[in-house]
Every structure is written in structure tokens, then in C-alpha cells.
């Protein structure tokens, strides 16, 4: 069995002016409306999962599952719509 360390990073998404500290979902109908959200690496939603992962994961050669937690940020005043975003996940050794 071989072990390898790797990192997993998530980009800011596709909305204009989105960052890894405040991602934005774009409205399907109202394409200039953005619903702010964040992605986290822990269930308490305190560790933002950004583009630069500082945590190394030890690969074992077996399938591994990493859970991504999310939260819509408070105070968003957006029209009713369907909101979505696309995140790119990068796995690097």
C-alpha cells in the first residue's frame, strides 16, 4: 500500500466578484442578483474552504470521502429565484 499526501482546494466559483471568503450564487432569471454563501471543511462551519488548502490529506490508495459544508450568509436581500454556482475542485500532490 502506498501513502501520498494531497491537498483539496475549491475555487471562488463563477459569479463576478466572488471570492473564496464570500462565494456568490447567480440567479437563474435575475442574472444580476447574487446570493452570498460560503463553503466549509468542518460541520461547525467555522473553517472556510478556500482556494489554498493548508491541510494535507493522507491518501491510502482506497476511496476517500471529503464532506463540504455550506451556509447561506445572513442578511441577503435577494429576489425569489433559483440560484446556482459552479465550483472547481482541485486535488494536488
**82-91 pLDDT, tens digit each:** 999 999 998 8
Cα distance between residue 64 and residue 58, in whole Å: 10
Average of per-residue pLDDT across 59-72: 88
Burial class of residue 9, CB neighbours in 10 A (0-12, 13-18, 19+): middle
The reported pTM is 0.86
Backbone dihedral angles phi then psi of residue 25, each to the nearest 5 degrees = -90, 140
C-alpha cell of residue 23: 462565494
User: Which H or E run includes 69?
Assistant: strand 69-72
pLDDT higher at 34 or 52? 34
Q: Is it the case that residue 54 has pLDDT exceeding 60?
A: no
Average pLDDT across the chain, whole number: 90
Average of per-residue pLDDT across 30-35: 97
- pLDDT at residue number 61: 79
Amino acid at each position: 500500500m502506498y501513502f501520498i499526501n494531497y491537498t483539496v482546494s475549491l475555487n471562488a466559483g463563477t459569479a463576478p466578484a466572488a471570492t473564496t471568503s464570500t462565494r456568490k450564487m447567480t440567479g437563474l432569471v435575475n442574472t444580476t442578483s447574487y446570493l452570498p454563501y460560503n463553503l466549509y471543511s468542518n460541520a461547525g462551519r467555522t473553517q472556510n474552504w478556500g482556494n489554498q488548502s493548508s491541510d494535507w490529506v493522507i491518501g491510502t490508495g482506497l476511496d476517500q470521502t471529503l464532506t463540504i459544508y455550506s451556509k447561506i450568509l445572513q442578511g441577503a436581500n435577494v429576489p425569489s429565484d433559483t440560484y446556482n454556482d459552479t465550483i472547481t475542485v482541485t486535488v494536488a500532490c
